Amino acid sequence: MLFGLSGVEISLIIVAVSLFAGILSGFPVAFALSGSAFVSFVIIATLNEAGLLYELHNVNGVMEKVPVFEQGWQKALLSTVSTWSQGVFSRAFGGNVETLLAVPLFVLMGIALERSNIAEDLLTTMAKLFGSLPGGLAISVVLVGALLAASTGIVGATVVTMGLIALPTMLKHGYSPKLSTGVIATSGTLGQIIPPSIVIVLLGSIVGDMYAIGQEKRAADLGITVLEMLGEPAVLSTGTLFKAAFLPGLFLAFLYAIYAFGFALLNPKKAPPVQLGDPDPYGTLSYYKNNAYLMVGAMLGPVLALIMIWIALTALGFVGSKVVDDTTIYAPLSHGMMAIATLSGFIITLAYALRPSYNRVPIILGLIGIAILFIMDWFFVAGDASGGVKTIYYIVPAIMISYSIKHAVPRLLEVETIRVVSPPVILIVAVLGSILGGVTNPTAAASLGAAGAVMLAASRRLKDAGKTNKIIMAAGVSVIILLLMRANFDLRMSLDTIDFDNGIGILVSIIAMHVAIFGLLYSCWILVKYKIMNPILNETTKVTSMVFVILIGSLFLSLVLRSFGGEEYIQEFLHSFEDPYTLLIVVMVVLFLLGFVLDFIEIIFIVIPIVGPVIYSVDPALMHPAWITILIAINLQTSFITPPFGFALFYLRGVAPKGITTRDIYLGILPFVLIQVIGLIILWNFPIIVTLLPDLLPAT
């Protein structure tokens, strides 16, 4: 053996060297993957034919040399190419196609919002709102980063956008270059974890299969079936991962904001308060006798109370449903009703908090309507009630709530912050709400998000041109109606018999669908007319093509590893760790180090299929698969910002002013890397932060 290494070990080194050489060569990563797979295979085949790559096997007491390509390189090549072509076909047209379709849709959603200058408006408005606080500009960057992450999911675009807009402003007002660059680079990477995240979508397309394979292997070792072992199928959907990622993403954003505020308190000259505009242009603060805490309490107190009530009732079993012996048992209240009550209650109470001097009658009627809705759902509407029955009981409170919201919305839109923040927030609520509420799956929600982003971009362009956007507003209302119809009526037109109420639901849905489609086409025409659609589609095509070509190339590389037994060798090595937590730590360290030189897409498509069957074969009662996945995602996010190779740092370096040095960026990011590690440790010790929403909310 060469250097005392086995043939498989030398082959693994050849593949690793070829891969890193290809990536560092400057070629596009998508082609470097395929090229490194081909080059490494040729080198291994040549050494195999020369008799230099072999394994020693004990055959009848005699140690014999067995080549790594036991049946010759021709057979290995034929098997690899055949399996590769079948795998590509399966990826394109097989079981994962629906999940992967969400990628171009979320990319389109993010780029459309980026091109519509919504990010610039958000940063300006948040800076006015929080700038007067110590470290207020940094806190504003964190909040905008979280909003952009939840509405775009594209890391590079977010870092570059905030670097161009926020960094000069922060430096101009005396902010430390280190804090400024650190908070921008880190907040920009929240798109990797806060859904809808492309990272989560791509992980969902892989880890679902890995979890199923791992559990089937564990069940086979026990001599039982997966259903007997788990009591349910081994399924891990992208929707579940979205729910699992939501709270950890917000938790990380909270840690960033706390650090920025603490830094400003300890170093007031390096993060001074900045007054941008009139602090109380609407006289609202004076109504609360200049007590900001009282005003914030009036704004957020009611919605926080509603959310806590929702969580408490769900935990006590009064909200939702469960399946017992193939029979669905419904609780007195539904998640849909609680969502509507919480959202409408927030809008109504916020309008009163910000405009307390206005007419209170619509506000009171809306709150009474919410109370009646709550009573109707608890006492009169069964969980399996038809859409017609729900309409009869809900019609009166729905009218009262709608009347209240009709008066509340104009009040809210008078406030600049609400006017700027509400469009992306509405889109986020529509996309994530449809997923978290179990109304639809991530792919359909991605379609909704892409269409919504196009309409928002068109609406913004019409606003800049001084023209009305009533058509787009009507289309938005129609989309809301479609979601409500989908949640409450059986809209299948293929049924032999369609009930009257479902027929009405179908009719209303058809009308709403045509209005929504017309609004979308009108929005597309507006973007084409003002020459915005072309760059959106070009950029979307580039990013999507990169993702899928990397997928194809990574599959080829994985099969080359499999051809000489490299994948099995790595998995056997991982199985040598008896403690599953030790195994996960080892995998996390490897992924973190690989994150220095590989983008998250390559890691997901190359590394996860190799280590996945091992780490996801652990008992889910001991280590929840969603918890493992979110730890991996945050780990990749950490490597994305860690010097000297963090990709986010290169994005920021490319747009930073000349006065900002690479040293400033590196020193500024180090505290946030420590925050990431602290966040990982907290999530490691408190998995409930990850598993809370998947356990509470309906499955998708």
- Is residue 609 a contact partner of residue 206, using CB atoms and an 8 Å limit? yes
What 3-state class would DSSP assign to 564?
coil
d(CA 382, CA 376): 10
What CA–CA distances, in Å, run from 495 to 47, 391, 485, 487, 513?
64, 21, 17, 18, 20
- CA 594 distance to own-chain centroid: 22
In-domain check, residue 11: no
Structure tokens at 131: 């700038």
| pLDDT (average), residues 285-289 | 72
Q: How confident is the model at residue 159 (pLDDT cuts 50, 70, 90)?
A: confident
Structure tokens at 134: 């110590």
Residue 658 has pLDDT above 60, yes or no: yes
Q: What is the pLDDT of residues 41-93, one digit of tens each?
A: 888 888 888 777 777 666 666 667 777 777 777 777 777 777 766 665 565 55
Residue 424 has pLDDT above 70, yes or no: yes
Exposed/middle/buried for residue 685 (C-beta within 10 Å: 0-12, 13-18, 19+): exposed
Contacts 24+ apart (CB under 8 A), 442-445: 442/99, 442/102, 442/196, 442/201, 442/204, 442/238, 442/239, 442/242, 442/700, 443/98, 443/99, 443/101, 443/102, 443/105, 445/102, 445/196
Residue 682 has pLDDT above 90, yes or no: yes
SS in 3 state form for 399-455? HHHHHHHHHHHHHHHCCHHHHHHHHHHHHHHHHHHHHHCCCCCHHHHHHHHHHHHHH
Helix (H) / strand (E) element for 341: namely: helix 335-354
- As for how many domains the chain has, the answer is 1
Q: What is the pLDDT of residues 343-365, one digit of tens each?
A: 899 999 988 888 888 888 999 99
Q: How confident is the model at residue 4 (pLDDT cuts 50, 70, 90)?
A: low
Structure tokens at 573: 């090595």
| pLDDT (average), residues 274-297 | 70
Q: What is the pLDDT of residues 182-241, one digit of tens each?
A: 898 888 888 778 887 778 888 887 888 888 888 888 888 888 888 888 877 888 888 888
- Is residue 319 a contact partner of residue 341, using CB atoms and an 8 Å limit? no
In-domain check, residue 311: yes
Sequence-separated (6 or more) residues with CB below 8 Å from residue 111: 152, 154, 157, 536, 539, 540, 543
Q: What is the pLDDT of residues 115-142, one digit of tens each?
A: 777 767 777 777 777 777 788 888 888 8
Domain that holds residue 334: 283-414
d(CA 202, CA 632): 12
According to DSSP, the residues that pair with 57 across neighbouring strands are 64
In-domain check, residue 405: yes
> What φ, ψ does residue 464 adopt, rounded to 5°?
-65, -30
Residue from 597, 595, 598 nearest 632 by CA: 595
In-domain check, residue 71: no
Residue from 238, 180, 230, 173 nearest 204 by CA: 238
Residue from 106, 29, 10, 68 nearest 605 by CA: 29
Number of Cβ atoms within 10 Å of the Cβ of 59: 9
Structure tokens at 368: 């009474």
The predicted structure's pLDDT at residue 90:
60
What 3-state class would DSSP assign to 57?
strand
Q: Please report how the helices 335-354 and 292-315 are oriented relative to each other, as an axis angle in degrees rounded to 10.
A: 170
Residue 546 has pLDDT above 60, yes or no: yes
Structure tokens at 394: 């809900």
In-domain check, residue 382: yes
Q: What is the pLDDT of residues 375-415, one digit of tens each?
A: 998 988 887 787 778 888 889 999 999 999 989 988 888 87
- Is residue 56 a contact partner of residue 49, using CB atoms and an 8 Å limit? no
d(CA 224, CA 478): 50
Q: What is the pLDDT of residues 228-285, one digit of tens each?
A: 888 778 888 888 888 898 899 889 999 999 998 898 888 888 888 776 665 556 667 6
d(CA 20, CA 29): 10
Structure tokens at 641: 């910002």
Q: What is the pLDDT of residues 584-624, one digit of tens each?
A: 888 888 888 877 667 677 778 778 888 888 888 888 888 89
Number of Cβ atoms within 10 Å of the Cβ of 415: 20
In-domain check, residue 325: yes
d(CA 309, CA 378): 14
Lowest mean pLDDT among 23-27, 180-184, 427-431, 539-543: 23-27
Lowest mean pLDDT among 35-39, 66-70, 167-171: 66-70
In-domain check, residue 501: no
In-domain check, residue 377: yes
d(CA 183, CA 671): 10
**Residue type at position 563:** S
Residue from 464, 445, 468, 480 nearest 347 by CA: 480
Structure tokens at 621: 């009662």
- Is residue 113 a contact partner of residue 152, using CB atoms and an 8 Å limit? yes
* DSSP assignment of 614-674: HHTTS-TTTS-HHHHHHHHHHHHHHHHH-TTT-HHHHHHHHHS-TT--HHHHHHHHHHHHH
Share the mean pLDDT of the chain: 81
Between the two ends of the chain, the Cα-to-Cα distance in Å is 52
Residue 143 has pLDDT above 60, yes or no: yes
